[in-house]
Amino acid sequence: MITINGITVRLGGQTIIDRASAAVPPGARVGLIGRNGAGKSTLMKVLVGQIDPDDGAIEMPRKTRLGYIAQEAPSGTATPFETVLAADVERARLLEEAENCVDPDRLGDLYDRLLAIDAYTAPSRAARILLGLGFDEEMQAQPLDSFSGGWKMRVALAALLFSAPDVLLLDEPSNHLDLEATLWLESFLKTYPGTLIVISHERDLLNNVVDTILHLQGGKLTLYQGGYDSFEAQRAERAAQLASAKAAQDAQRARLQEYVVRNSARASTAKQAQSRAKMLAKMQPITALMEDPSLSFEFPSPDELRPPLMTLDLASVGYGDSPILQRLNLRIDPDDRIALLGRNGNGKTTLARLLAAQLTPMDGAMQASGRMKVGYFTQYQVEELASEATPLEHMTRAMDGKSPGAVRAQLGRFGFSGNRATTQVAKLSGGERARLALALITREAPHLLILDEPTNHLDVDAREALVQALNDYTGAVILISHDRHMVELTADRLVLVDNGTAADYPGSIEDYIDLVLGRNQPKQEPANRPPKKNREANAASRDEAKRVRQEISSAEKAIAKLQAQISAIDLAIISPASATADLATLTMEALSRRRAALTRELDEVEQRWLEASEKLEAQLT
C-alpha cells in the first residue's frame, strides 16, 4: 500500500499540491492524470523522494523498490544491450561475486539466488524488451553515443522495465515512441506483476492498461475506479452533483448573509446574527469543476485549390547521396486526411520533409500547386521558441506587416487572449507552447497541414480539442502520430512507410494494430493510390462522418445538461433545504413529475446518441 497523507508542495512560492491524500493498494495499475501544469510530475518526484513535501508524508512498506526514469538519458560507449543488463544491479553483483568466490557454501547460496531471480534468462529478456522498443539486433550492439536523444530515452525505459521494480513509475513513457513501440509497451504493462503508476495522456493506453485513475486537479487528488472512459463518465456525474451542491450552498450563503446584514444592528437578534456569521465563516466553499476556457484550437480555412495539391512520380528522397525512400507514387488532394504509419527510422519524417519542400527529390518527379501553402509542425519548433519572448511578440514578427487586430485574432484562435498573449514563453506549459507553434505555422491559412507528433505535450482534453479542430479544418492533413485515438478519428487514408517506400495501406488502423501485434494479416497487398471514384467516395464519407460527429457532440451536451438537472432534483428530494431557488417552491409530487419527464427526455437523447455512435462506427469500419 502506498499512502499519500495530506501532502503539500510549494515551488517558487506557488502551491502546486495542496493537502492531497490518496491510497494506492498493492498491485494497482494507476493512471495519474491532470491538465498540463497540474503537478503530476511533481507528485511523482515526491513519490521517489526527489522532492520533499512541505507538509504531509508518503508512506509505503520498507524495502519497496521504486523504479523511475532519470531526467538524463544514458550515454557513453556501452551498448543498449549492456546498459539494460546492468540495470539489474543484484544480478550483476551476484555474478561478479560468484566469479571470484572460493567458498563452496557461499557459492551454492549465490547460485540459488541467481536461479531465484531468473538471472540466466536475463540476456534473452533484455533483448526482447529492446526489440519491442524498436532496437533490432544490430542496434542493440551499437554504442549509446551513436543514438539520438529520443532513442537513448528508449534505452532508459528498457532498462527500467528490465529491472522490474516493485513500484513502476512512468512519466509519459510513449512520448519518444512510435505507434508500434507504444503497442508493445501497452502489451508489456498489461502483464506487469508489480504496482504501476503511469502519467499518460494516451486515452487507449489508459483504457487498456490501468484499473484506477488518480486525478490531480486544483492541488487535490481524487481516485476513480476503471480506465479513462469510466473516469470521464464518473467525472461528468460528479460535476453535475457539484454544480447542484454549489448552487444550493450559494443560495444558503446568500440567505445567511442577508440575515446577518438585516439583524446585526438589532439588539434582539444580534446574537443570532453573530451565530450565522460564524456559520458563514466555517462554511467550506464548494468548487465546481471548471474547464480551462483558454483551451482552444481553430485552424483558419484556406482558399480553394483545384486538385491535386501535390503528386510524386517515382520520386526518391534522402540525405547526401543515400536515398531513404524510393519509388514514391503518391497523390495528395485538397480533401485528403492521411496518417503515415511505420516504425521510427523507416522514413516518415523524411517523407514529411519532402512534402513540406524542406527536401528535394533525388530522382523522379514532384509537382505541387504553385499557390499551395504548407504548414509544417515538428517538436523542434516547440523547443526553438524564444523563451524570453511572448506569444504576441512571436506572432507579430511572423505576421510582419499585418495589423495588430489580425495578429491578435490568430493568437485568439489558439487560446492566447488577454494576459496569455503577453506571458513569456518560459512561463508557458508544454501544451501551451505546442499551441503557440501550431498558431505560428497556420498564420497564412495553409492548404496542407503536416503534423509530426503534435500531441507529445498535450493533455487528454487538449488532444480532444485538436481532434475537433482537425475535423473542422477544410484543408488537407498529413499526420504522424503514435496516438491511435487521434489517427482513428481524423484520418480516412493510411499510408505505410516501410521497406524503403510509401504506399496506401488498404485496411483500417485496427487492421494495422492487429498486424503489428501479430493478431492478423493485412487484407491485401498494399497498393498505390486508389482510383478517383474511391477518393470521391472517401470525401463524401468524411463529410457524413463529420455530420454524425456533430450529432454525437450535440447529444452528449444535451445528456450532460439533463443529467445535471436530474441530479439537482434528486438533491432537492433528499434535502429540501438545499434545493435551488427554482426547485425550492415545488412539491414532492411536482418534483417527481419533472424528474420523470427529464428521464424520458434523457432516454430519447441517449438513444439518438447510441444510433449516431453506431452509425459512425459503421462508417469507420
Pairwise pLDDT comparison (582 vs 173), residue with the higher score: 173
Taking Cα atoms as reference points, which of 380, 443, 422 lies closest to residue 150?
A: 380
Predicted confidence (pLDDT) at residue 147 exceeds the cutoff of 60: yes
**Is 70 exceeded by the pLDDT of residue 540?**
no
Mean pLDDT of 530-540: 55
Has residue 315 got a pLDDT over 90? yes
Task: Give the model's confidence band at 25: pLDDT under 50 very low, under 70 low, under 90 confident, else very high.
Answer: confident
Is the CB of residue 487 less than 8 Å from the CB of residue 620? no
pLDDT band per the 50, 70, 90 thresholds, residue 553: low
pLDDT of residue 390: 93
Confidence bin at 294 (pLDDT 50/70/90):
low
Task: Using the predicted structure, report yes or no on whether residue 591 has a pLDDT greater than 90.
Answer: no
Instruction: Indicate the average pLDDT of the chain.
Output: 82
Q: What is the mean pLDDT of residues 306-331?
A: 91
Average pLDDT over residues 328-340: 91
- Alpha carbon distance 338, 448 (integer Å): 11
Average pLDDT over residues 582-604: 82
Q: What is the pLDDT of residues 160-181, one digit of tens each?
A: 998 888 899 998 888 888 888 8
User: pLDDT confidence of 396, banded at 50, 70, 90?
Assistant: very high
Torsion angle of the four alpha carbons 525, 529, 530, 535, in this order, in degrees rounded to the nearest 10: 140
Is omega for the bond preceding 576 within 30 degrees of 0, making it cis?
no
Higher-scoring residue by pLDDT: 610, 427: 427
- C-alpha cell at position 19: 493537502
pTM over 0.75: no
Q: How far is 226 from 206, CA to CA, in rounded Å?
A: 9
| DSSP helix/strand/coil, 159 | helix
Going by pLDDT thresholds of 50, 70 and 90, the confidence category of residue 538 is: low
Mean of pLDDT values over 499-520:
83
| CA nearest to 248, candidates 581, 567, 569 | 581
pLDDT at 439: 92
Could you tell me whether strands 14-24 and 2-11 are parallel, antiparallel, or unpaired per DSSP bridges?
Answer: antiparallel
d(CA 430, CA 408): 21
Rounded to whole angstroms, the Cα distance separating 20 from 234 reads 20
Largest Cα separation within the chain, whole Å, is 97
Q: What is the pLDDT of residues 194-212, one digit of tens each?
A: 899 999 888 888 999 999 9
Q: Residue 488 in contact with residue 512, Cβ under 8 Å? A: no
Type and span of the H or E element at 542: helix 532-574
At 356-391, the pLDDT tens digits run 999 999 999 999 988 999 999 998 888 889 989 999
